Amino acid sequence: MRKFFVFFNLILSLYVFAQDKSFDVLGSGASNFIVQRNLKFVSVDNSCSVKMIEQDAKLDDDVDLIIHFDGANEKPLGNYMLTDGAVQPCFNTKIIGAASGNFKFNGGSLRLEPYSNAIFAPQNEPQDFEISFYIFPTMLDQNETVFYWSNSFVRDNEIVYQYINCSLDGERVKWVFRNFFFNDELNTIILEGQRDLKVGKWYHIRVLYNFDESRLELIQDNVTQEIKHCSKDGLESYEPWTPVVGDNIKSGIIIGKSFNGKIDEFVIRKKFKEDLCVSRFGDSTGTLISKPFDLKYSGNYIKSIEADFDNQNYSNVNLFYRATEDRFTQLQWYNIEDIDGQRDMDIWQPLDKPFLDNIRGRYFQVMAIFYPGSSKNISPVLNKLSFSYEPNLPPMPPVYINVKPLNGSALIEWIPTISKNIVGFKIFYGTKSKTYTESITVSEVNRNGNKMFFLVDGLENGVLYYFSVVAFDDAPVSQLSEFSKEVSARPARKYKFQTN
């Protein structure tokens, strides 16, 4: 008997004191997530982090050229062909994407020739246009050329040369448009930056032409530097000058002709964008939604959610969670197509503290929403995301069971395991061993000490019956224990009801 109770207490301790479990959501990288919008996973030293993706330019009908500078053999996107030059990518100093282009004076440039549908294709009249890029100067010598285009045309039997040149004139940006705008007379229009540049800092440079307003504008870091009106009187006019490209078929553009530094995200557009976003992330947010984790048991207790993230410059990550018992009916577990454009926030609970109270479920899911910093140039970085829970193990079966045959009935007695979660029992019985055709749910039972009793009546005298008892718990989807040891009895008229 002593050995029996030692064994019983060992089983009981293993059940009652089930250990909390922890799940590392980021541990397996992107495989644990069904939605990852505007986010990228970064692996460093066998650990995984998540940050926002920079909003790079996308090719559409209004875009003439894009160079992201994200790889050594990257081809330009749009209406130009790379004909000469190569630039090494710089992966450490970049503003958008995986890398920037590393330019050195007399040591590397790119020459591109236009296709027939490009802005700078021979004999084209583009009207609106926009040229923009990021630069990271490393020397700031005199007359470093960042962008250069040239062509020519014949006028009055004479060859007229035209060009557009963007250079760093000392510490300021300077654009020169020579004979690019059609007019009765040859012309040169110069735009100059009003803010000094510094070595080792990124700047966004943008020049645009609004044909309807005859407005040629230089913008640096989203601040207008200078405006010139391309018209006869130099004012906003209903007769603006039209940009005209000469007929020299060998003309092209050169990027980084004599520039020392990095260039990133070079874009030419056929139409200017008044609301062009020059920050790395703009008004976008990032959304990360995990798959629903099946914790196997009903009614698990979710204890805490732990996250570690860097949130410089007021960037932030907001966390949400939800739990359910039924994966397919109580909650909608969104696929990436379903979540696009909407988030039903009513079914998500915001995480306002790491430790959770009375959150139970078999399935558990977390969501993180990323917000860039106040400058829209800093992304928060999520370095850790995990949750802990206490498994709600099914109850254990009774450790002792006995049956006494009676007249047309049988008295079942058993000793249950001690558990706060057991709320009732089921008595299974039938006339074949291990094959039970009847069951009785028992919530109220008679007790005698630690024993429980229940009278199963309506039995046929002289027939051998087999019995087993299982316990069930208070989980939202009730969990049954395994079957107890099977016992048998044959009711007869000679038996009388008696308990000890």
Say whether pLDDT at 334 is over 60. Answer: no
What string of DSSP letters covers 376-397? S----EEEEEEEEEE--PPPPP
In the chain the first and final C-alpha atoms are separated, in Å, by 19
Confidence label for 332 from pLDDT (cuts 50, 70 and 90): low
Q: Does residue 335 have a pLDDT over 80?
A: no
Mean pLDDT of 477-481: 92
Examine the domain organization and report whether 338 and 386 are in the same domain: yes
Does residue 227 lie in a domain region?
yes
CATH for 355? 2.60.120.260
Contacts of 73 (CB under 8 A, 6+ apart): none
- Contacting residues for 37 by C-beta, under 8 A, at least 6 apart: 286, 287, 288, 336, 339, 340
Residues 6 or more apart whose CB falls under 8 angstroms from that of 407 comprise: 461, 491, 492, 493, 494, 495, 496
Give a yes or no: residue 260 inside a domain.
Answer: yes
pLDDT confidence tier of residue 182, bands split at 50, 70 and 90: confident
Q: What is the pLDDT of residue 355?
A: 80
Do 353 and 472 share a domain, yes or no?
A: no
Asked if residue 381 belongs to a domain, the reply is yes
Of the residues 214, 239, 269, the one at which a domain ends = 269
Please identify, among 365, 390, 415, the residue that sits at the C-terminal boundary of a domain.
390
State how many domains the chain has: 3
Q: How confident is the model at residue 382 (pLDDT cuts 50, 70, 90)?
A: very high
Q: Does the pLDDT value for residue 42 go beyond 60?
A: yes
Residue 310 and residue 245 share a domain: no
3 has a pLDDT exceeding 60? no
Do 291 and 237 share a structural domain? no
The two three-digit tokens of residue 50, written as one number: 């998540």
Are 99 and 71 within 8 A, CB to CB?
yes
What whole-number distance in Å separates Cα of residue 70 and Cα of residue 78? 16
Q: Read off the pLDDT band of 203 (50, 70, 90).
A: very high
* 446 CB neighbour count, 10 Å cutoff: 12
- Contact 87/261 with Cβ under 8 angstroms? no
Contact 399, 415 (CB under 8 A): yes
CA atoms of 448 and 439, how far apart (whole Å) = 23
The answer to whether residues 80 and 185 belong to one domain is yes
Least confident of 249-253, 425-429, 437-441, 465-469: 249-253
CATH code assigned at 482? 2.60.40.10
What range defines the domain where residue 207 resides?
63-269
Residue 56: the pLDDT is 80
| Residues 154 and 258 grouped into a single domain | yes
Lowest mean pLDDT among 23-32, 38-47, 384-393, 468-477: 38-47
Residue 275 lies in a domain: no
Given 329, 357, 390, the domain boundary residue is 390
Report the C-alpha gap between 441 and 471 in whole angstroms: 10
The verdict on 80 and 206 lying in the same domain is: yes
Distance of CA 95 to the CA centre of its chain: 20
Mean pLDDT of 357-386: 91
Instruction: Give the per-residue pLDDT at 58.
Output: 82
- Tell whether 217 is covered by a domain: yes
- Give me 131's structure tokens: 């040229």
Indicate which CATH number applies to the domain containing 191: 2.60.120.200
pLDDT band at 340 (very low <50, low <70, confident <90, very high): very low
Residue 300: inside a domain = yes
pLDDT band of residue 107 (cuts 50, 70, 90) is low
